[in-house]
Structure 1
Amino acid sequence: MRILAVDDDESMLELIDHSLSISAHHYVATAISAEQALEKIESEEVGFDCFLVDIQMPRVDGIDLTSIIRRIAGCERKPVVMLTAMHEKPYLDMAFRAGATDYITKPFNFRELRSRIFEAGKMCASEVQSIPDSQNSSGFSWVNGELIYDGPVSLSDDGDVKSLLSFVEFENYVQETARAYMRDRTKPRNGGPAAIGLKIACPQSNQTYPRFEPIGPLLSEVVQAANTVFYNALNYLSYRGNGTFLCLLNNHVHESSGSLERELNVCLGSRLNDLEDYGIHVFAGNQVPLRTSLPSAALDILWMAGESVEQKFIAARHAAK
């Protein structure tokens, strides 16, 4: 993999170069500033596969550099891994908002860095599953009321889905959010980040063919409804297939899942007037607190959030029979 590491600390760049080029057999180019990094990106004929970016740098910081990289042709989906001493969650949020793929806080273990770069490489080599664009409905169907999708699609550039992350990026964000929350000594005893699952389905339908096309705008409307209902509580969400979204809230919402579900469907119905005619419904599962600093446990919490909404859909489908 061809990697560009950007950090104003030259000793850190030497360590990264040694660890990745010698131990992991990557090609590593280095830059001590955002300006130098952009020059190398422009002059590199082959192009880079991955970027390692420090946040705190003079003149142009790593967050602004990430935003610029995302606007460069060919770099829109290349992994950008933040390597930073900034542990505070606002920096984490700004980094992912700018387009970061992963976020590693210093000091870090170089074995972990190599592992995270390997995962970033796998993501770069395959298309990322997310919301389809308005022209892409192939491969979608309704089976026993469930939206079935069997292949990858590209991310939408719609301004309404700014809170949307690919599933790999979303997992990275959730794990780092859990670490940041557990490090925060001022955190409240109650509340804190929570995961919740949403699922769009037709629980009363036995049709095996699409009843609403194209699918892309429908899923984008679900994202917009989530942004409206959760408002400032919503950090990010990700589409994980079969009509299911996982959301991370920055604080537990003091409303029942039933109340949130009603609000989501009212909001979606106001945007899509014929929603009820198609029998389409958005389910909301229970909120699952993100109270762990262990990466594997954070992923277990995401699974529980997804399972909660899945069970709610199954119960509704059985009740409709």
Structure 2
Amino acid sequence: MEPMRILAVDDDPVFLLLLEHILSDIGYSDLHCVGSGAEALARLRDRTQRFDCLLLDIDMPEMTGIELCRRIRALPDYRDTPILMITAMKTLQYVEGAFRAGANDYVHKPVDELEIRTRLRMVGDLLDERRRRASVESRISTDFGLPNVVVSFDEPFAINEVGSTIEYLALENYALTLGRLRLFGHTVVSFKVTNAESIFFATDGIGYVDTMANVAAAIDGALKSFNHLIAFAGRGEFVAMISQRCSLETATVQDSIDSALERYARLYDALGIPMPRVCVGETQHAGFFSRTSVKQLIRDARESARRAMAVR
């Protein structure tokens, strides 16, 4: 794992000193600290500096961490840079707002050394994988003179064109941040593109990502009456978390998605790409007294969509 250059943003200088001490103890010595969103943006716009990971507080004067996160995501150089919120704000309004603005993870203050070590190790693994993909894409571009996006059929990737979509890992982290009580009040549902593998082999990386983005937009439209977040999970599967306990009318959602995708029929036909077909799984809920984990809840939702595919 390569060394990680980190920028921390917090208006509390005492906390920044504490954070510097904790990160130094666990092997992250290349830490840079600023006290406001404006200072952070000035650093990030300076192309002589490049940061691998950003740690943001939420409750700051003049510009909140959530607004800062949103502005950072608008910077081309930091569109995909891992962002961790480190904050004392625990209410659902702030948690969901942070993930919707583009945060990848959410850590509560006071910072636990083991927890921050685990989260930063995950960030390091993510960065290593992205560097590997960027190297492959660069090599293909050099060899053939064509732009290319390297994606795996099995692995998740980010879809940035649809407002309610976040990365799959971020969706898992969001659910973990909720805790059992708030997770009980949420609904999880999965969607399966039944012919995703055919689409994957019929086009290149850019075409496949664009097609999955169209599916994400159709799902987003079908869930527009609910407050929700969507992530692409790989293998043509999407997972949505709805911030209320509900049972969807599966047939109505299915019809809405089919109608939205039908608008692209001529385009897919002209490009020789199969028209995406989507199945909707049954809604899943965490039991109040059950020990169902977040990962198991999401697995159950994805399995339900696969079963729906088998009988369609």
User: TM-score, normalised on structure 2?
Assistant: 0.79
Aligned to 2:255: 262
CA distance in 1 between partners of 2:243 and 2:294 (Å): 14
Match of 2:65 among 56, 62, 67: 62
Question: Which amino acid counterpart does residue 176 of structure 1 have in structure 2?
Answer: T
Question: Which amino acid counterpart does residue 167 of structure 2 have in structure 1?
Answer: S
For 1:4-19, what aligned pairs fall within 5 Å after superposition?
A: 4-19=7-22
Query: How far off its partner does 1:192 sit?
Result: 2.2
For 1:109-258, what aligned pairs fall within 5 Å after superposition?
A: 109-127=112-130, 149=153, 155-158=158-161, 161-178=162-179, 181=182, 192-202=185-195, 210=202, 214-258=207-251
Match of 1:95 among 89, 94, 98: 98
**Any conservation in 2 of the 1:234–1:247 contact (CA below 8 Å)?**
no
**Any conservation in 2 of the 1:54–1:82 contact (CA below 8 Å)?**
yes
CA distance in 1 between partners of 2:41 and 2:29 (Å): 20
| Residues paired across the two proteins, number | 291
CA RMSD of aligned residues (A): 3.6
The answer for unaligned runs of 5 or more in structure 2 is: 134-146
**Any conservation in 1 of the 2:261–2:276 contact (CA below 8 Å)?**
no
Of 290-299 and 232-241, deviating more is 290-299
Match of 1:306 among 280, 298, 302: 302
Match of 1:28 among 31, 37, 44: 31
The answer for unaligned runs of 5 or more in structure 1 is: 130-134, 140-147, 183-190, 317-321
Q: Deviations over 1:100-147 (max 9, x none)?
A: 111112234221012111112222222399xxxxx86987xxxxxxxx
Identical columns (%): 25
Aligned to 2:142: none
Question: Secondary structure, in 3 states, of the residue corresponding to 1:82?
Answer: strand
**Any conservation in 2 of the 1:163–1:237 contact (CA below 8 Å)?**
yes
Shift of the 307–57 alpha-carbon distance from structure 1 to 2, 3 Å rule, reads: same
Query: How far off its partner does 1:98 sit?
Result: 1.9
Q: Deviations over 1:273-317 (max 9, x none)?
A: 69899575311111111457999811111111111111221333x
CA distance in 2 between partners of 1:294 and 1:54 (Å): 33
**Any conservation in 2 of the 1:227–1:234 contact (CA below 8 Å)?**
no
Q: Deviations over 1:160-200 (max 9, x none)?
A: x1211122122112222345716xxxxxxxx8211111011
Higher helix share: 2
User: TM-score, normalised on structure 1?
Assistant: 0.77
Q: Deviations over 1:66-120 (max 9, x none)?
A: 1222233422211111011111111122212222111112234221012111112
Aligned to 1:132: none
**Any conservation in 1 of the 2:195–2:277 contact (CA below 8 Å)?**
yes
Question: Secondary structure, in 3 states, of the residue corresponding to 2:224?
Answer: helix
Of 294-303 and 165-174, deviating more is 294-303
Question: Which amino acid counterpart does residue 115 of structure 1 have in structure 2?
Answer: T
Say whether 1:83 aligns with 2:86.
Answer: yes
